[in-house]
Structure 1
Amino acid sequence: MSITIEVKNRTNWIVTIILGLGLFILSLIILIIIPLVSLQAEGVFFIVNYISFATPFTAFFILFLYIWLWNTFGKTIFIIEPEKITVRYKNKLFTSPRIYLKKEIDQILVKDFQVEKYKFGVRYHLSLSGSTYSVVFIQNGNEIRVINWITETKASEIVNEIKKQVVLK
Protein backbone atom coordinates (compact mmCIF):
# COMPACT_ATOMS: atom_id res chain seq x y z
CA MET A 1 0.00 0.00 0.00
CA SER A 2 1.39 3.39 -0.92
CA ILE A 3 0.31 6.86 0.12
CA THR A 4 0.69 9.91 -2.11
CA ILE A 5 1.14 13.49 -0.92
CA GLU A 6 1.07 16.28 -3.53
CA VAL A 7 2.46 19.74 -2.83
CA LYS A 8 1.73 22.47 -5.41
CA ASN A 9 4.32 25.19 -5.92
CA ARG A 10 3.32 28.73 -5.17
CA THR A 11 3.02 30.45 -8.53
CA ASN A 12 4.86 33.73 -8.92
CA TRP A 13 2.62 35.41 -11.50
CA ILE A 14 5.15 38.09 -12.45
CA VAL A 15 7.69 35.39 -13.41
CA THR A 16 4.97 33.46 -15.25
CA ILE A 17 3.92 36.47 -17.34
CA ILE A 18 7.44 37.71 -18.12
CA LEU A 19 8.77 34.27 -19.03
CA GLY A 20 5.61 33.52 -21.04
CA LEU A 21 6.25 36.64 -23.12
CA GLY A 22 9.91 35.63 -23.44
CA LEU A 23 8.93 32.16 -24.66
CA PHE A 24 6.56 33.68 -27.22
CA ILE A 25 9.20 36.11 -28.52
CA LEU A 26 11.90 33.42 -28.67
CA SER A 27 9.60 31.06 -30.56
CA LEU A 28 8.85 33.84 -33.11
CA ILE A 29 12.58 34.46 -33.52
CA ILE A 30 13.38 30.75 -33.95
CA LEU A 31 10.46 29.89 -36.25
CA ILE A 32 10.06 33.07 -38.34
CA ILE A 33 12.90 35.60 -38.17
CA ILE A 34 15.93 33.27 -38.31
CA PRO A 35 14.57 31.21 -41.26
CA LEU A 36 13.89 34.46 -43.18
CA VAL A 37 17.44 35.67 -42.50
CA SER A 38 18.89 32.24 -43.38
CA LEU A 39 17.06 32.16 -46.75
CA GLN A 40 19.75 34.46 -48.13
CA ALA A 41 22.24 31.59 -47.95
CA GLU A 42 22.08 28.87 -50.61
CA GLY A 43 22.11 25.08 -50.39
CA VAL A 44 23.84 23.50 -47.40
CA PHE A 45 24.76 26.94 -46.08
CA PHE A 46 21.06 27.54 -45.31
CA ILE A 47 21.11 24.70 -42.76
CA VAL A 48 24.46 25.74 -41.27
CA ASN A 49 23.31 29.36 -41.10
CA TYR A 50 20.01 28.41 -39.46
CA ILE A 51 21.64 26.12 -36.87
CA SER A 52 24.34 28.64 -35.97
CA PHE A 53 21.82 31.45 -35.47
CA ALA A 54 19.12 29.36 -33.78
CA THR A 55 21.32 27.55 -31.24
CA PRO A 56 21.67 30.37 -28.64
CA PHE A 57 17.99 31.28 -28.95
CA THR A 58 17.02 27.61 -28.51
CA ALA A 59 19.20 27.37 -25.39
CA PHE A 60 17.44 30.40 -23.87
CA PHE A 61 14.07 28.96 -24.91
CA ILE A 62 14.82 25.72 -23.02
CA LEU A 63 16.02 27.64 -19.96
CA PHE A 64 12.92 29.85 -19.93
CA LEU A 65 10.68 26.82 -20.46
CA TYR A 66 12.34 24.99 -17.56
CA ILE A 67 11.75 27.89 -15.15
CA TRP A 68 8.28 28.74 -16.49
CA LEU A 69 6.94 25.16 -16.29
CA TRP A 70 8.18 24.62 -12.74
CA ASN A 71 6.95 28.03 -11.54
CA THR A 72 3.54 27.76 -13.17
CA PHE A 73 2.61 24.07 -12.98
CA GLY A 74 5.20 22.48 -10.68
CA LYS A 75 4.25 19.94 -8.02
CA THR A 76 6.29 17.84 -5.64
CA ILE A 77 4.81 14.39 -5.20
CA PHE A 78 5.74 12.14 -2.27
CA ILE A 79 4.97 8.46 -2.72
CA ILE A 80 5.36 6.67 0.59
CA GLU A 81 5.72 2.93 0.17
CA PRO A 82 6.51 0.26 2.79
CA GLU A 83 10.30 0.37 2.24
CA LYS A 84 10.99 3.69 0.52
CA ILE A 85 9.92 7.26 -0.11
CA THR A 86 9.92 8.42 -3.73
CA VAL A 87 9.98 12.14 -4.45
CA ARG A 88 8.90 13.20 -7.95
CA TYR A 89 8.99 16.72 -9.28
CA LYS A 90 6.11 16.99 -11.74
CA ASN A 91 6.56 19.50 -14.60
CA LYS A 92 10.24 20.04 -13.86
CA LEU A 93 12.36 19.25 -16.89
CA PHE A 94 15.48 17.10 -16.69
CA THR A 95 14.81 15.65 -13.21
CA SER A 96 14.33 12.03 -12.35
CA PRO A 97 12.50 10.73 -9.27
CA ARG A 98 14.57 10.57 -6.09
CA ILE A 99 14.25 7.47 -3.97
CA TYR A 100 15.06 7.44 -0.25
CA LEU A 101 15.08 4.20 1.72
CA LYS A 102 13.22 4.59 5.00
CA LYS A 103 15.90 2.72 6.93
CA GLU A 104 18.53 5.28 5.84
CA ILE A 105 16.56 8.38 6.93
CA ASP A 106 17.56 9.48 10.44
CA GLN A 107 15.19 12.44 10.86
CA ILE A 108 12.56 14.44 9.00
CA LEU A 109 12.60 18.12 9.94
CA VAL A 110 11.17 21.52 9.14
CA LYS A 111 13.99 24.02 8.74
CA ASP A 112 13.90 27.80 8.34
CA PHE A 113 16.24 29.17 5.68
CA GLN A 114 15.52 32.86 6.20
CA VAL A 115 19.18 33.17 7.19
CA GLU A 116 21.18 30.51 5.38
CA LYS A 117 24.81 29.85 6.30
CA TYR A 118 27.07 28.33 3.70
CA LYS A 119 30.83 28.02 3.20
CA PHE A 120 31.28 31.51 1.74
CA GLY A 121 29.19 33.43 4.27
CA VAL A 122 25.56 34.16 4.99
CA ARG A 123 22.63 34.56 2.61
CA TYR A 124 19.40 36.31 3.63
CA HIS A 125 16.08 35.30 2.09
CA LEU A 126 13.25 37.76 2.57
CA SER A 127 9.67 36.70 1.99
CA LEU A 128 6.53 38.70 2.70
CA SER A 129 4.49 35.50 2.93
CA GLY A 130 6.94 33.70 5.24
CA SER A 131 7.80 31.09 2.61
CA THR A 132 11.35 30.44 3.81
CA TYR A 133 10.87 26.95 5.24
CA SER A 134 11.94 23.59 3.83
CA VAL A 135 11.22 19.93 4.51
CA VAL A 136 14.57 18.32 5.21
CA PHE A 137 15.64 14.68 5.45
CA ILE A 138 18.68 13.95 7.61
CA GLN A 139 20.45 10.98 6.07
CA ASN A 140 23.88 9.84 7.33
CA GLY A 141 24.52 13.30 8.81
CA ASN A 142 23.68 15.11 5.55
CA GLU A 143 20.76 17.48 5.05
CA ILE A 144 18.68 16.79 1.96
CA ARG A 145 16.20 19.54 1.14
CA VAL A 146 13.16 17.87 -0.38
CA ILE A 147 10.70 20.77 -0.64
CA ASN A 148 11.86 24.39 -0.56
CA TRP A 149 10.29 27.79 0.00
CA ILE A 150 7.00 26.93 1.68
CA THR A 151 5.36 28.35 4.79
CA GLU A 152 5.99 26.92 8.24
CA THR A 153 2.45 25.58 8.60
CA LYS A 154 2.55 23.81 5.23
CA ALA A 155 5.98 22.35 6.00
CA SER A 156 4.78 21.14 9.42
CA GLU A 157 1.69 19.52 7.85
CA ILE A 158 3.85 17.67 5.34
CA VAL A 159 6.35 16.50 7.97
CA ASN A 160 3.57 15.32 10.29
CA GLU A 161 1.89 13.41 7.45
CA ILE A 162 5.17 11.75 6.51
CA LYS A 163 5.98 10.91 10.13
CA LYS A 164 2.58 9.20 10.50
CA GLN A 165 3.53 6.88 7.67
CA VAL A 166 7.25 6.44 8.36
CA VAL A 167 8.83 4.79 11.39
CA LEU A 168 12.40 6.05 11.63
CA LYS A 169 15.38 4.23 13.14
Structure 2
Amino acid sequence: MPVIIKIKNKTNWILTIILGIGLLVLSCLILVIIPVVSIRAEGFFFILNYISFATPFAAFFIVFLYIWLWNTFGKTILTIDPEKITVQYKNKLFTKQKTYLKEEIDRVQVKDFQVDKYKFGVRYHISLSGSTYSVVLIQKGVETRIVDWITEAKACEIADEIKIRIK
Protein backbone atom coordinates (compact mmCIF):
# COMPACT_ATOMS: atom_id res chain seq x y z
CA MET A 1 0.00 0.00 0.00
CA PRO A 2 1.52 3.35 -1.01
CA VAL A 3 2.19 6.10 1.49
CA ILE A 4 1.30 9.62 0.38
CA ILE A 5 3.05 12.64 1.91
CA LYS A 6 1.79 16.14 1.04
CA ILE A 7 4.09 19.09 1.66
CA LYS A 8 2.57 22.57 1.26
CA ASN A 9 4.86 25.35 0.10
CA LYS A 10 5.49 28.13 2.54
CA THR A 11 3.67 31.10 1.00
CA ASN A 12 5.56 34.37 0.62
CA TRP A 13 2.65 36.80 0.94
CA ILE A 14 4.58 39.83 -0.29
CA LEU A 15 5.43 37.98 -3.51
CA THR A 16 1.83 36.78 -3.83
CA ILE A 17 0.43 40.31 -3.55
CA ILE A 18 2.99 41.91 -5.88
CA LEU A 19 2.63 39.22 -8.54
CA GLY A 20 -1.17 39.31 -8.20
CA ILE A 21 -1.13 43.02 -8.94
CA GLY A 22 1.26 42.39 -11.84
CA LEU A 23 -1.08 39.74 -13.26
CA LEU A 24 -4.02 42.16 -13.07
CA VAL A 25 -2.05 44.92 -14.79
CA LEU A 26 -0.82 42.60 -17.54
CA SER A 27 -4.35 41.24 -18.07
CA CYS A 28 -5.65 44.78 -18.43
CA LEU A 29 -2.87 45.59 -20.90
CA ILE A 30 -3.43 42.49 -23.02
CA LEU A 31 -7.24 42.54 -23.02
CA VAL A 32 -8.06 46.28 -22.98
CA ILE A 33 -5.25 48.72 -23.70
CA ILE A 34 -3.42 46.95 -26.53
CA PRO A 35 -6.64 46.25 -28.52
CA VAL A 36 -7.66 49.91 -28.17
CA VAL A 37 -4.25 51.06 -29.42
CA SER A 38 -4.27 48.47 -32.24
CA ILE A 39 -7.76 49.41 -33.47
CA ARG A 40 -6.31 52.07 -35.77
CA ALA A 41 -5.05 49.33 -38.07
CA GLU A 42 -7.56 47.73 -40.44
CA GLY A 43 -8.34 44.10 -41.20
CA PHE A 44 -5.40 41.72 -41.13
CA PHE A 45 -3.04 44.43 -39.91
CA PHE A 46 -5.12 44.76 -36.72
CA ILE A 47 -4.39 41.12 -35.87
CA LEU A 48 -0.70 41.48 -36.77
CA ASN A 49 -0.41 44.69 -34.75
CA TYR A 50 -2.19 43.15 -31.74
CA ILE A 51 -0.02 40.00 -31.78
CA SER A 52 3.22 41.94 -32.11
CA PHE A 53 2.35 44.22 -29.18
CA ALA A 54 0.76 41.57 -26.94
CA THR A 55 3.42 38.84 -27.27
CA PRO A 56 6.00 40.29 -24.82
CA PHE A 57 3.27 41.07 -22.27
CA ALA A 58 1.83 37.57 -22.66
CA ALA A 59 5.29 36.10 -22.01
CA PHE A 60 5.60 38.13 -18.78
CA PHE A 61 2.06 37.08 -17.85
CA ILE A 62 3.00 33.39 -18.17
CA VAL A 63 6.17 33.84 -16.09
CA PHE A 64 4.30 35.77 -13.39
CA LEU A 65 1.50 33.16 -13.38
CA TYR A 66 4.04 30.33 -13.06
CA ILE A 67 5.71 31.92 -10.02
CA TRP A 68 2.44 33.11 -8.46
CA LEU A 69 0.69 29.72 -8.71
CA TRP A 70 3.63 27.80 -7.24
CA ASN A 71 4.21 30.35 -4.47
CA THR A 72 0.54 30.66 -3.50
CA PHE A 73 -0.93 27.19 -4.04
CA GLY A 74 2.10 24.94 -4.61
CA LYS A 75 2.25 21.51 -3.07
CA THR A 76 4.71 18.63 -3.38
CA ILE A 77 3.14 15.19 -3.23
CA LEU A 78 5.37 12.19 -2.54
CA THR A 79 3.93 8.76 -3.22
CA ILE A 80 6.14 6.08 -1.70
CA ASP A 81 5.56 2.58 -3.05
CA PRO A 82 7.71 -0.40 -2.04
CA GLU A 83 9.51 -0.30 -5.41
CA LYS A 84 9.43 3.40 -6.39
CA ILE A 85 9.00 7.00 -5.27
CA THR A 86 6.82 9.34 -7.31
CA VAL A 87 7.21 13.11 -6.90
CA GLN A 88 4.41 15.31 -8.20
CA TYR A 89 4.35 19.09 -8.02
CA LYS A 90 0.76 20.36 -7.81
CA ASN A 91 -0.02 23.83 -9.19
CA LYS A 92 3.34 24.18 -10.91
CA LEU A 93 3.04 24.84 -14.62
CA PHE A 94 5.09 22.91 -17.16
CA THR A 95 6.16 20.09 -14.83
CA LYS A 96 5.41 16.41 -14.94
CA GLN A 97 5.67 13.87 -12.19
CA LYS A 98 9.02 12.19 -11.64
CA THR A 99 9.50 8.56 -10.69
CA TYR A 100 12.57 7.18 -8.94
CA LEU A 101 13.02 3.40 -8.77
CA LYS A 102 14.07 1.87 -5.45
CA GLU A 103 17.00 -0.07 -6.91
CA GLU A 104 18.48 3.13 -8.39
CA ILE A 105 18.43 5.06 -5.09
CA ASP A 106 21.74 4.77 -3.21
CA ARG A 107 20.94 7.05 -0.26
CA VAL A 108 18.39 9.51 1.07
CA GLN A 109 19.82 12.57 2.82
CA VAL A 110 18.78 15.82 4.41
CA LYS A 111 20.93 18.75 3.29
CA ASP A 112 21.10 22.31 4.51
CA PHE A 113 21.25 24.79 1.63
CA GLN A 114 21.75 27.90 3.75
CA VAL A 115 25.06 28.19 1.91
CA ASP A 116 24.46 26.85 -1.59
CA LYS A 117 27.61 26.11 -3.60
CA TYR A 118 27.28 25.89 -7.36
CA LYS A 119 29.61 26.13 -10.35
CA PHE A 120 29.59 29.96 -10.49
CA GLY A 121 30.17 30.60 -6.80
CA VAL A 122 28.27 30.64 -3.53
CA ARG A 123 24.73 31.78 -2.75
CA TYR A 124 23.49 32.51 0.76
CA HIS A 125 19.86 31.80 1.68
CA ILE A 126 18.62 33.57 4.77
CA SER A 127 15.43 32.25 6.36
CA LEU A 128 14.05 33.43 9.67
CA SER A 129 12.05 30.20 10.02
CA GLY A 130 14.99 27.91 9.21
CA SER A 131 13.40 26.62 5.99
CA THR A 132 16.68 26.00 4.17
CA TYR A 133 16.67 22.20 4.19
CA SER A 134 16.01 19.77 1.35
CA VAL A 135 15.42 16.05 1.02
CA VAL A 136 17.97 14.71 -1.44
CA LEU A 137 18.06 11.39 -3.28
CA ILE A 138 21.50 10.19 -4.34
CA GLN A 139 21.55 8.02 -7.45
CA LYS A 140 24.86 6.91 -8.96
CA GLY A 141 26.63 9.83 -7.30
CA VAL A 142 24.12 12.42 -8.57
CA GLU A 143 22.08 14.42 -6.07
CA THR A 144 18.42 15.10 -6.85
CA ARG A 145 16.46 17.44 -4.61
CA ILE A 146 12.89 16.20 -4.31
CA VAL A 147 11.55 18.49 -1.57
CA ASP A 148 13.01 21.98 -1.12
CA TRP A 149 12.96 24.79 1.42
CA ILE A 150 11.49 23.07 4.46
CA THR A 151 12.53 23.02 8.11
CA GLU A 152 15.06 20.52 9.41
CA ALA A 153 12.46 18.64 11.45
CA LYS A 154 10.13 18.22 8.48
CA ALA A 155 13.02 17.19 6.20
CA CYS A 156 14.22 14.56 8.69
CA GLU A 157 10.68 13.24 9.10
CA ILE A 158 10.24 12.86 5.31
CA ALA A 159 13.70 11.33 4.83
CA ASP A 160 13.09 8.80 7.63
CA GLU A 161 9.73 7.82 6.12
CA ILE A 162 11.36 7.27 2.72
CA LYS A 163 14.20 5.24 4.25
CA ILE A 164 11.74 3.00 6.09
CA ARG A 165 9.57 2.44 3.02
CA ILE A 166 12.27 1.67 0.44
CA LYS A 167 14.28 -0.82 2.49
Calculate the TM-score normalised by the size of structure 1. Answer: 0.96
RMSD over aligned Cα, in angstroms?
A: 0.8
- Kindly report structure 1 stretches of 4+ aligned residues shifted beyond 2 Å: none
Q: 3-state SS of the aligned residue for 2:135?
A: strand
Q: Alpha-carbon deviations, 1:120-148, whole Å to 9, x = none? A: 22221111111111000010011101111
Equivalents in 2 of 1:45, 1:151: separation in Å? 55
Q: Tell me by how many angstroms 1:80 deviates.
A: 1.2
Aligned partner of 1:6: which letter? K
Q: 3-state SS of the aligned residue for 1:160?
A: helix
Q: Alpha-carbon deviations, 1:84-130, whole Å to 9, x = none? A: 11100000000010110011001111000111222222221111111
Equivalents in 2 of 1:148, 1:82: separation in Å? 23
Q: Does residue 112 of structure 1 match 2:109?
A: no
Equivalents in 2 of 1:9, 1:100: separation in Å? 22
1:125 matched to which residue of 2?
125
Unaligned stretches of 5+ residues in structure 1: none
Unaligned stretches of 5+ residues in structure 2: none
Tell me if the contact between 2:83 and 2:166 (Cα under 8 Å) persists in the aligned partners.
Answer: no
2:150 matched to which residue of 1?
150
2:77 matched to which residue of 1?
77
Equivalents in 2 of 1:37, 1:122: separation in Å? 46
* Percent of aligned positions that are identical: 71
1:162 matched to which residue of 2?
162
Q: 3-state SS of the aligned residue for 2:128?
A: coil
Question: How many residue pairs align between the two structures?
Answer: 167
1:51 matched to which residue of 2?
51
Equivalents in 1 of 2:120, 2:61: separation in Å? 32
Equivalents in 2 of 1:120, 1:67: separation in Å? 24
Q: Alpha-carbon deviations, 1:36-78, whole Å to 9, x = none? A: 1111100100000000000000000000000000000000000
Q: 3-state SS of the aligned residue for 1:42?
A: coil
Matches within 5 A, 1:58-97: 58-97=58-97
Equivalents in 2 of 1:58, 1:121: separation in Å? 33
Equivalents in 2 of 1:80, 1:52: separation in Å? 47
Aligned partner of 2:80: which letter? I
